[in-house]
Amino acid sequence: MLPRQTRIMTKLRELALRNSSTNSIVGNQLKHRYGFHTIRQTCTEFPRKLKKTERKPWVTNINELKRIGRAERKERQIVRERILQPPQNGLLVNELIPVAHQVNADRIQLFTCVSKVAQSIAIYSCSVCGEVHIGHRPHKIRTCNVMGSAASKEHCWRRGAVEHVLPPVESFHLYDRLGRAVSHNERLQVDRIPAILELCVQAGIDLPEYPTRRRVFPAYSISGRVIDFEKRFPKEDAPGEDIYACGFWQKRNNISDDNKSVDMQPCDLQATAVRGMEAWERMRSGASRLMETYAAQTCGYCSEIQVGPKGHRVRNCQAYKHQMRDGQHAWQEATIDDVVPPVYVWHVRDTQSEKPLVNELKKYYGMLPAVVEMFAQAGASVPNDYVVMMREDVAVPEWDEEKLVV
C-alpha cells in the first residue's frame, strides 16, 4: 500500500514540474512577443507611519537577542575575569575621536545653514497632527488622520520653525558611561542634552559645561559585574568644580549659543544650501559610524532615547501598554533615524508653480526628508540615496487627465 502511494506522489510531482516548466517557457515567449517584461523594483517604499500599537522594528533579530542573553547568563555563572574591549571597559576608541569632533562641527554647521535657508523658504506645520510642508503653498493632501482632526482630514497649517525641520531629540547626560542608570527620582537632577551631542561626548569630545569621566585604567568584568579598580574621584578630577547643578527647569543656552557661534560669511542661498546638504550627509554617516561602537537605546513605542549601554529607569512612558510596564520604557537598540530623525515631507517639483499639491494626485508625488527638501528648493543637488524617493521619473498628469491614466 505504501509503495503505491509513493509512486503516485512521484508521478504527480513530475507532472507538476513538467507543466510549470512548459508554462514558464510559453509565458516568456508571450512576454517577448507582446512586449511585456518584468521590471525590477527600483522605487523604495515610503516610510510607513507606525500605529500606536506597533513596536519599532528590531535592529537585531529577537531570536538572536535571546541566544545572546542565554550565553551571557551562562557566562555569569562561571566566576572568572573577562577582559573588556573599548569602550566597554570605559576607555575611548582613539580612532573615533576625530569622527566625534567632525560630527559635532557638522551639527553646528547644519543648524546654522537651516536657520539661514529658513529665512527665504517657508516652513509650514500642521497644528493638529504636526505634519510639515516645505514651500510657499501648503499642500492639499488630506492625511491629517489623528484625534481632533477635521472630518475632511485637511491640515490646519501655520508657520513653522527650525524645530519642525530638525526636531530636538534629547538624552540624559551621563557623567560615567559605565555607572548605574538614571533613576526615576534623579530625573530632575540630571541634565538633558541633544542625543547627537551626548553621543559625541561619550566618543571623546570634552565640554566644560558637561563634564564626563575619562578613565585611565580599564575596567574588568567578573561574573557579569563591571569591576573598576580606578579611584572613584582621582585628584585630577575634582568633583563639582565645573558642574553647574541645575535641572531641565533651568536650561542653559549653551547649545543654542554653540549653534549661533558659527557665523558664516554672507553668500548666496544656493551656496549655503550646498554646505548644509554636505553637513547633513557627513553628520549622519559619522553618527552611524559612532553608533556601531557606542550603543544607544530607544523605546520601542515612543521617541525616548538614551545614549549609553543601557536605558534609564525614569517612568515617563505614556505609549502603548505603559501601564503594564509601570511607565518604564521598552528599551531596544537604536538606529540613526532615532538619534537624527528625518521628518519626511512631500516633494515639490516646481517651486515656481502657484498650484499646490492636491490629494487626487498624491500617488504620483515623491517624498524627501524636510532638511533635504529645503536645501533642494534652495538650489542644492539631492544625494543619490534620495533620488529614488523623489519620483522624478514619474509623470504627474493634470487634474482632469488623472481619470484617463491606466
pLDDT average, residue stretch 366-394: 92
pLDDT average, residue stretch 334-358: 92
Specify the DSSP class assigned to residue 95.
Answer: G
Q: How far apart are CA 1 and CA 260, in angstroms?
A: 86
Q: How far apart are CA 149 and CA 140, in angstroms?
A: 14
Spatial contact of 295 and 333, defined as CB atoms under 8 Å apart: yes
- The region that residue 135 occupies, defined by phi over 0 for left and psi between -120 and 50 for alpha, beta otherwise, is left
Q: How far apart are CA 50 and CA 55, in angstroms?
A: 8
Q: Write the CA distances from 335 to 139, 178, 213, 292, integer angstroms.
A: 30, 21, 25, 10
Instruction: Reply yes or no on whether the pLDDT at 105 is more than 90.
Output: yes
Q: Look at residue 402 in the predicted model and tell me its pLDDT.
A: 64
Q: Look at residue 267 in the predicted model and tell me its pLDDT.
A: 58
Spatial contact of 330 and 311, defined as CB atoms under 8 Å apart: no
Residue 344 banded pLDDT, cuts 50, 70, 90 = very high
Strand partners, 368: 345
pLDDT in tens, 223-265: 778 888 776 554 554 444 444 444 433 444 444 445 444 444 5
**Rounded (5°) CA angle 192-197-198:** 60
Q: Look at residue 54 in the predicted model and tell me its pLDDT.
A: 92
Q: How far apart are CA 303 and CA 298, in angstroms?
A: 7
Specify the DSSP class assigned to residue 140.
Answer: B
Spatial contact of 117 and 378, defined as CB atoms under 8 Å apart: yes
Instruction: Reply yes or no on whether the pLDDT at 107 is more than 80.
Output: yes
Sheet holding 123-126, edge to edge: 132-134, 123-126, 157-159
Strand partners, 298: 305, 332
Spatial contact of 314 and 187, defined as CB atoms under 8 Å apart: yes
Q: Look at residue 40 in the predicted model and tell me its pLDDT.
A: 33
Identify the CA nearest to 374 among candidates 273, 265, 268.
Answer: 273
Cell 509601570 locates to 326
Instruction: Reply yes or no on whether the pLDDT at 357 is more than 50.
Output: yes
pLDDT in tens, 286-322: 999 999 999 999 999 999 999 999 999 999 999 998 9
Which one is predicted more confidently, 394 or 157? Answer: 157
pLDDT average, residue stretch 370-380: 95
Spatial contact of 173 and 244, defined as CB atoms under 8 Å apart: no
pLDDT in tens, 5-31: 566 656 656 655 565 444 443 344 333
Q: How far apart are CA 143 and CA 268, in angstroms?
A: 35
Identify the CA nearest to 341 among candidates 100, 199, 168, 139.
Answer: 168
pLDDT average, residue stretch 386-403: 79
Q: How far apart are CA 343 and CA 388, in angstroms?
A: 17
Instruction: Reply yes or no on whether the pLDDT at 395 is more than 90.
Output: no
Instruction: Reply yes or no on whether the pLDDT at 367 is more than 90.
Output: yes
Element (H, E) at 29: helix 2-34
pLDDT in tens, 112-161: 999 999 999 999 999 999 999 999 889 999 999 888 888 999 999 999 99
Spatial contact of 310 and 333, defined as CB atoms under 8 Å apart: no
Cell 569622527 locates to 99
Query: Residue 105 phi/psi, 5° resolution?
Result: -65, -40
Which one is predicted more confidently, 32 or 3? Answer: 3
Spatial contact of 199 and 193, defined as CB atoms under 8 Å apart: no
In the chain, helix, strand, coil percent, each to 5? 40, 10, 50
CB neighbours (10 Å) of residue 6? 10
**pLDDT > 90: percent of the chain:** 58
**pLDDT > 70: percent of the chain:** 78
Angle 97-117/370-377 helices, nearest 10 degrees? Answer: 60
Instruction: Reply yes or no on whether the pLDDT at 192 is more than 90.
Output: yes
Q: How far apart are CA 109 and CA 113, in angstroms?
A: 6
Residue 404 banded pLDDT, cuts 50, 70, 90 = low
Identify the CA nearest to 354 among candidates 116, 135, 206.
Answer: 135
Specify the DSSP class assigned to residue 50.
Answer: P
